[in-house]
Structure 1
Amino acid sequence: MHRTRTAAATALAMALALIPLTGMAGPPGSGGKAGRDGARDHPGAAASRAISPTPRSVRSRSDQVAVTPAVTVVAGPRADAAALAVVETSLKDAGAQRVVRAEQAPGGGQLSVYVDGAGAARALAELGARGTDGLPAEGYALAVGAGRIALAGKDAAGTYYAAQSLRQLLPHAERWGARVPGTVVRDWPATPLRGVIEGFYGTPWSHRARLDQLDFYGAHKMNLYVYSPKDDAYLREKWRDPYPADQLAQIKELVDRARTRHVEFTYALSPGLSVCYSSDADLRALTAKFATLWDIGVRTFAVPLDDISYTDWNCAADKDRFGTGGGAAGAAQAHLLNRVNQEFIARHPGAEPLQMVPTEYYDVKPSPYKKALATQLDKDVLVEWTGVGVIAPTMTVAQARQAREVFGHPILTWDNYPVNDYVTNRLLLGPFNGREKGLPEQLAGITANPMIQPAASKLALYTVADYAWNDSAYDARTSWGGAIEELAGGDARTARALRAFADAHYASSLNPRQAPELAAAIEKFGKDGEARRLDAVLRNLQEAPAVLRERLTDRGFVQDSAPWLDATRAWGVAARTALRLIEAIKADDGARAWKLRQQIPELVRTARSFVYVDMTGKRIPVLVADGVLDTFVEGAVAAHDRALGVTGRPEGSTDLSVYQDNAVSRMTDGDDATYFWSGAGPKAGSFVALDLHAERPLGAVTLAMGKSGSPDDYLRHGVLEYSSDGKSWQRLAAFDGKAEVRVEPPAGVRARYVRARATQAQDNWLVVREFAVAGADAGTVAGGPPAAEGSALRSAADGDPATGYRAARAAQPGEALEFTPDAPRAARSVVVLRPQGAPSGAARVEVRTGGAWRTLGTLSGAYTRLPVGDGAVEGVRLVWRAGTAAPEVNEVVVH
């Protein structure tokens, strides 16, 4: 019966390829009314929210039923065994002590459940529910009320889905007596095929994870799983070789589990790296491989031909037979697929239509390749398509129609969300988004390519299932919230933690705003200054990983997310410290602010230290709410600099796109191991720039480009320029063919902005490890003790408290460190910043005004603030006490 269900779905898909492209609000005879019933504000909305995917029609009754100690299940003669198992387990979970099967209900107040057959049809009618007549394949009817429950499916899959909906309506209770509100549901899917394609590059899922996924798909009314992991060697590189017995046995277990969950297991073999399309031997190898899978129960097969070259043949015979170019490639592929279709699929009764992935799978532009497939490929082959783009931000009804027209075949989408093999530093935990309502009706089906992390993929896959079943009622944020509630098992504390964690990993091509709830909380704090409210949000984020590790029942999610959980906690600590820094600045508590400021760099280093280790052993730093948390922390540090009256670290900018997370801020972080990396080759006029925050004298300008692994990613031809207003630019120096550039500006040059500008276009991308301007302070530092290696005297007053002067030895009698600003400064105080733990009394602080030195006081630990009194400050001197351990100074500030 499972085979009949799939055949019906495929027949509908074939029909879609032949009829006019018109939508249908409901099943035949519905008059479109059910489409309105599927809206979120329809009667029975509470029950609708309890059932996932959202049903087409839910109506509340005024009565209810009670779960009795014993429950009788009256099953039709052909009731689906898997559906009956779900019903009986769900009743026991609802508190029933005993669930028995009988040919008729015993009466006497005992709850009876009718599953398919004449009894279910009669009970549905008595409860005011329409039966299954007029429903499409996989549709079902369900009614609860008047002391009974009745459910029936259009087919076996429909009955199974009715059982899954009943499972969600029934409570979880330790004893009998729980009440179930009266409810009537009539439901059916928006598109015939709905599921997941394990088609990513990277670590394939474990066998245990795949079994768990199949359970998840069945529970969410997804009926298709395509086995296509790119790094299963027996699918690609070794496609001709038979599976070892142990691996074949595992695949059989997957096939069997899929069948019991009403999920069609599709085996996708990818021969394109080495196949000779015209070779009889290769055809025999391909069909022989399929035959071994047929023998263990596989009935649906696919031949993906994506991510290969179709301009280079694998054998001379193909060039001789088909010629060259895209049209030739399409003809060759159609030739091979037609032979597979005719000599294997057609000769195996019960086989489902062949599926294929074209080499041009990512657009709707007419081409010789697509024309060859449209005209030469057998019409019953399903073509898979990713939308307009490999990762399509949006997908529309019009695009789907164009795809059907240009490929000339029914379309099964391969939707590359939430796949993260191209951004392995991220979890993509936001909802399925950007897909137009009405799209599923134009398709043979929808498959989603998930993340490398199987359990963590469930949040997004829940929303995919919701959309694919009932797009007319789909709301991305509502569905996302439902996914969180389900995964949290209904526990409020777990749900709150999971929502905070998922929000911090929300952004993707489909969901461009990162951490929308956290970002909104930070934005609100910027307006109203309510630190307590924001701290509560950040505390919840910080504590979320521990809560999830302790309470989340899906341990796979915890395992999948481990480095991101660690990093989330660390970023929460850093952000809360930054918030306390902002509050200390507001309170004018300089000592506390400086103490907090010094903690932040190490907290950020810790937050950035957690890594995902891929299947090759590569260690990849993970990202958490990037552009939100890091920006908030950087903003707090910048606020501290402004409060001190110093300029702080220069701010980088560029007009180039950014590759992955290699942000432009990485070229100014003082770490040569991090870098900005453009997402394309620079054009003539492309630039990277520094804002020094104020006009100042320029010291040496250093531009370090390229990196290990891509040493040629640097500006081949460019100029260094400077400006005071960011509009009028003066040339500093030109450079050609050098990845390392260092220029000493002429004496007296002052500027606020410095940039490196490309003078010619190039194909290579651009890596900038560090872009720095030395001597950017407005004054000089002299005296001693001499600086230790890797340090400099000028770091004691360079406008950046993150840098510091470290002496090479202890102070000697009479030694002093002297800062002379470039011009006398009117000031209220002198502030001296030193590392935490710095000793009090280590130096006498003197200030020169009116040509004379006078003592203001002595250093008092890490933070010293002394009033200046009258007169413009001409210099500041720290006269060290003899024998003082090697001094350290982060910044001398005249403010």
Structure 2
Amino acid sequence: MHRKKHRPLPLLGGLLLGAALLAAPAQAHADDPPAPAPAAAPSAPVITPNPQSEHVRPDHVVVTPQVDVVTGDATDPAALALAKSALKAAGADAVDVTAKPSPGRLAVYVGGPGEHNAASADALKALGVQGTGGLAAEGYVLAAGRAGGDGPGRIVLSGADATGTYYAAQSLRQVLPHRGRPGGAVQGLAVRDWPATGLRGVIEGFYGTPWSAAARLDQMDFYGAHKMNTYVYSPKNDPYLRDKWRDPYPADQLAVIKQLVDRATANHVDFTYALSPGLSVCYSSDTDLKALTDKFQTLWDIGVRQFAVPLDDISYTTWNCDADKARWGTGGGAAGAAQAYLLNRVNQQFIATHPGARPLQMVPTEYYDTTDSAYKTAIRTQLDGNVVVEWTGVGVVAPTMTVAQAKAAKAVFGHPILTWDNYPVNDYTTSRLLLGPFTGREQGLPEQLAGITANPMIQPYASKLALATVADFTWNDSGYDARESWLHAVHEMAGGSPAVEKALRAFADVNYSSAIDSTEAPDLSAVMAGYWAGKAPAAALGDALAALRDAPAVLRAKLPDTGFATDASPWLDAATGWAKADLAALRMVEEAKAGHGAAAWALERQLPSLVAAAKAPVYVDMNGNKVPVVVGPGVLDGFVAKAQTAYRAALGLPPAPTGQTSMGVYSGNTPDRMVDGDDSSYFWSSAAPSVGDWVGVDLGKSEPVSSVALHMSKSSSPNDYIHAGTLEYSADGTAWHQLSAFSAAPDVTADAPAGTTARYVRARVTASQDYWVVVREFTVTTADRPAVTGAPAPAAGSGLAAAADGSPATFYRGATAPAAGDALTVAYPAARTVHTVTVLANAGSADVQVRVDGAWRTVGALDGAFTRLDVGSVSADAVRLAWTAGSAAPGVAEVIAN
């Protein structure tokens, strides 16, 4: 039976369980629960990465109290150790290595033909399962079943090589049950599996806080468990890789690296040592060549067999020595020739003279496109053909990678291509955790490549969710489903606890988007969309938000991988904060719907502090910089904004302006931030704009416009603004009219001609530029605002206009208690039909009056923080709050007549 596309994800105690457990045999202990009867059509057990071929057999095997393991003369020790540990975790009391299995015992054969285990080939033949012939390197066969009078049955782990046998053991670990007693029955199966590409793994190549030694050791175990075979050691903070590349490691530091090499080797991971001499190397120097190869020799002596020379992030327009300039001249072609000369000497004098060394790898200075150049021509024509070239795709962080692009890269570089895939790395967006799946890579890509290595996040343990999906794609791209792989990674990391899995999924969901996938919080967004569309009840959204609110506490207390919670700590705090803010916003909307005006207003008043708390958590980088973290950008903060819009509508206020743009968004700095009244927040584009790109404001309806103010750039990026553009307005979003042109200034203002009416206002780019765009605030002042006058005078930082500016978030606050005769008057440009007067306040005592035909009528009095008075149906041109002399200093958020 072939594996189905969508698989169940059973997990118990960290080991994946066969989908069908058959009736317990006589050897089972009396206190074991009986195994369920077999299903009519049993499913294939879940193995990750998804095997190339997996068939369910009609038989089964039983984990007996004593299990016999048959090995060859050269059976891989790591595979044997892993198989024994998995069998004991499955309930076996004893696991014995023997030349011949005993009757009545489960027999397990470990080792393929290359490990001199002829018995495994015979066992496969007895089961009617094809052997390892024709399998690619690191491929394997895993079979479980019965042959004739086998009794408990037999399991065979046979690799095309030792690593293949180790991977068969990793699959066995997932197939066997996890239980404290023998007697577990496992569905018979036949797996024939092999990797889609040769090199699969991780390159520690980010800028920022380096991983600890303990985290690196933990990563080696993770890579082995997920059939990744490559780790590239290239941390930017190791001075002996870059600034001190010529110097030998001190003995204690070399010992730390040796420990890592040994752990990698134990997990069948090739440790790749990447030395980066480009900042100071003299390519033509024999002395520098010797320094480089001597350095490699010290690493060879501790077990390293894979070497790389990255020449990225350097200038090739400036030579490090006069001899290079004299020999090669100037320009990209000269640089390529010089690099090829040095690398060829390393390849011929070190790699070729060390039997067992893997092919040399290099990172070109032009590593991010497929456009031919003099530099690439030199690499293509002069670099030894067996040197592997690393490439990031089309772009430093390539949103997609296609088969055609990979073919183009092979052609333009003329060498085998190993991708340096900059996902899930977050050194360029340190405010974010990137926990979504590996996506945007076309099926068929791996077979075009020498391999795929992923650059991980600064946070090693949090990187595992995304890296698990990288492992799945690189092993079997044809059977890869990004969402299914991601769900399985969440399931696996949860360690068998449904509560932890629910919490981890909720948290990872709001950290899902990235440069390769713009999907924001797919689970939560769907519930929110259903709520706003009236298809999901408030209770469903409340449950989802409560789950997110509570998830951090669950993860900190119960997630088996404790490093994840440490890595994610500020993001966990932010998730809790935003969930609390969204829950309050949800209750506000529901209270307003129910007509509970005072309760809704009380919740609205809580939102600013809740939002501030959600924005407060920071990530502290290695330089001590405090970076505010971002979770669920546009979703969690967007829900608060949408709830406030709904609340405004319930109050009868006009819609709040919304920010819009044609540009991409960088690191969660969404366009709503340029209309939030906070000059410290901003919209930030994800790239330099093209001519015709724009940022703008939607007023929600056509209104008379009096002026526009656009404030761009920020202190840390003063050139990030539209350097040449035009301010335009439109009533329908189609026909646009110019207000003014501008250039070379980050702050732009314009007055609109009398009678201007618009719904949309935008700033459009009119000339190309290299800088990105930051907009702190984009303010459109409308001409039909009411005039607010009166006393007492406003306190510092407040203004009378705030009492009728259409925003419940802004307050007029009196500087003193009111004196006799003091009043606050809101006068409208023209008389309007008024049915109710609503006053949102936080202090003060007053009579509420409306002016009808020039005369004031008292219609009631303020009644606490929320007052709504029915005035019938009158034509009034003003509302007045006549203060009670000596009462508390007034505070008014909004006076609304409608």
TM-score computed with the length of structure 1 as normaliser: 0.91
Matched, 1:824 2:789: no
Q: Structure 1 residue 704: deviation in Å?
A: 3.0
- Does the 8 Å CA contact 2:44/2:189 hold for their aligned counterparts? no
Opposite residue 322 of structure 2, the aligned amino acid is A
Distance (Å, rounded) in 2 between the aligned partners of 1:766 and 1:509:
17
Matched, 1:867 2:875: no
Distance (Å, rounded) in 2 between the aligned partners of 1:472 and 1:757:
44
Question: Which stretch shows the higher mean deviation, 384-393 or 460-469?
Answer: 384-393
Partner of 1:197: 203
Partner of 1:8: none
Distance (Å, rounded) in 1 between the aligned partners of 2:834 and 2:841:
20
Of the three residues 306, 312, 320, the one matched with 1:300 is 306
Opposite residue 816 of structure 2, the aligned amino acid is R
C-alpha offsets along residues 375-409 of structure 1, whole Å, 9 cap, x if unaligned?
A: 11111111112222222222222222222222111
Matched, 1:408 2:403: no
Partner of 2:336: 330
Q: Structure 1 residue 548: deviation in Å?
A: 1.3
Partner of 1:425: 431
Distance verdict in 2 for CA 1:335–1:736, change over 3 Å: closer
C-alpha offsets along residues 352-373 of structure 1, whole Å, 9 cap, x if unaligned?
A: 1111111122222222222211
C-alpha offsets along residues 58-101 of structure 1, whole Å, 9 cap, x if unaligned?
A: 22222222222222222222111111110111111112222222
For structure 1, the 5+ residue unaligned runs are: 1-35
Of the three residues 627, 642, 655, the one matched with 1:620 is 627
Distance (Å, rounded) in 2 between the aligned partners of 1:710 and 1:657:
18
Partner of 2:86: 90
SS in 1 for 2:874: coil
- Does the 8 Å CA contact 2:69/2:110 hold for their aligned counterparts? yes
Identity of aligned residues (%): 60
- Does the 8 Å CA contact 1:393/1:434 hold for their aligned counterparts? yes
Distance (Å, rounded) in 2 between the aligned partners of 1:396 and 1:681:
24
Give the alignment's Cα RMSD to 1 decimal. 2.4
Partner of 1:780: 787
Q: Which residues of 2 match residues 288-687 of structure 1 at below 5 A?
A: 288-527=294-533, 528-647=535-654, 649-681=656-688, 687=694
Opposite residue 874 of structure 1, the aligned amino acid is D
SS in 2 for 1:234: coil
For structure 2, the 5+ residue unaligned runs are: 9-17, 20-41, 112-116, 147-151
Q: Which residues of 2 match residues 198-277 of structure 1 at below 5 A?
A: 198-277=204-283
Opposite residue 620 of structure 1, the aligned amino acid is V
Question: Which stretch shows the higher mean deviation, 275-284 or 521-530?
Answer: 521-530
Q: Structure 1 residue 744: deviation in Å?
A: 6.2
Matched, 1:131 2:124: no
Q: Structure 1 residue 245: deviation in Å?
A: 2.0
Distance (Å, rounded) in 2 between the aligned partners of 1:729 and 1:511:
33
Q: Structure 1 residue 321: deviation in Å?
A: 0.9
Distance (Å, rounded) in 2 between the aligned partners of 1:131 and 1:735:
73
Distance (Å, rounded) in 2 between the aligned partners of 1:139 and 1:69:
30
Opposite residue 184 of structure 2, the aligned amino acid is A
Distance (Å, rounded) in 2 between the aligned partners of 1:730 and 1:40:
54
Partner of 1:880: 883
Distance (Å, rounded) in 1 between the aligned partners of 2:209 and 2:371:
33
Matched, 1:852 2:855: yes
Distance verdict in 2 for CA 1:723–1:809, change over 3 Å: farther
Opposite residue 71 of structure 1, the aligned amino acid is V
Opposite residue 88 of structure 2, the aligned amino acid is K
Question: Which stretch shows the higher mean deviation, 742-751 or 212-221?
Answer: 742-751
Distance (Å, rounded) in 2 between the aligned partners of 1:680 and 1:110:
65
Partner of 2:62: 66
- Does the 8 Å CA contact 1:850/1:871 hold for their aligned counterparts? no
Partner of 2:34: none
Question: Which stretch shows the higher mean deviation, 490-499 or 330-339?
Answer: 490-499
Distance (Å, rounded) in 2 between the aligned partners of 1:383 and 1:733:
51
Opposite residue 5 of structure 2, the aligned amino acid is R
Q: Which residues of 2 match residues 18-97 of structure 1 at below 5 A?
A: 40=5, 48=44, 50-97=46-93
SS in 2 for 1:441: helix
Distance verdict in 2 for CA 1:682–1:143, change over 3 Å: closer
Opposite residue 791 of structure 1, the aligned amino acid is S
Q: Structure 1 residue 734: deviation in Å?
A: 6.0
SS in 1 for 2:490: helix
Distance (Å, rounded) in 1 between the aligned partners of 2:830 and 2:77:
89
SS in 1 for 2:201: strand
Q: Structure 1 residue 244: deviation in Å?
A: 2.2
Distance (Å, rounded) in 1 between the aligned partners of 2:766 and 2:75:
74
Matched, 1:144 2:151: no
Q: Structure 1 residue 411: deviation in Å?
A: 1.5
Q: Structure 1 residue 713: deviation in Å?
A: 3.6
- Does the 8 Å CA contact 2:659/2:698 hold for their aligned counterparts? yes
SS in 2 for 1:273: coil
Distance verdict in 2 for CA 1:687–1:69, change over 3 Å: closer
Q: Structure 1 residue 266: deviation in Å?
A: 0.5
Distance (Å, rounded) in 2 between the aligned partners of 1:605 and 1:481:
32
Opposite residue 593 of structure 1, the aligned amino acid is A
- Does the 8 Å CA contact 2:680/2:776 hold for their aligned counterparts? yes
Matched, 1:99 2:76: no
Q: Structure 1 residue 749: deviation in Å?
A: 6.2
Partner of 1:280: 286
Q: Which residues of 2 match residues 729-878 of structure 1 at below 5 A?
A: 738-741=745-748, 751-756=758-763, 762-773=769-780, 778-835=785-842, 838=843, 842-878=845-881
TM-score computed with the length of structure 2 as normaliser: 0.91
Matched, 1:111 2:103: no
Distance (Å, rounded) in 1 between the aligned partners of 2:5 and 2:735:
57
Q: Structure 1 residue 780: deviation in Å?
A: 0.9
SS in 2 for 1:525: helix
**How many pairs were matched up?**
855
- Does the 8 Å CA contact 1:775/1:794 hold for their aligned counterparts? no
- Does the 8 Å CA contact 1:48/1:54 hold for their aligned counterparts? no
Distance (Å, rounded) in 2 between the aligned partners of 1:329 and 1:518:
51
Distance verdict in 2 for CA 1:377–1:248, change over 3 Å: same
C-alpha offsets along residues 869-895 of structure 1, whole Å, 9 cap, x if unaligned?
A: 232122111111121121100000001
- Does the 8 Å CA contact 2:846/2:883 hold for their aligned counterparts? yes
Partner of 1:693: 700
Opposite residue 795 of structure 1, the aligned amino acid is A
Q: Structure 1 residue 648: deviation in Å?
A: 5.2
Distance (Å, rounded) in 2 between the aligned partners of 1:42 and 1:768:
46
- Does the 8 Å CA contact 2:794/2:800 hold for their aligned counterparts? yes
Distance (Å, rounded) in 2 between the aligned partners of 1:654 and 1:352:
49
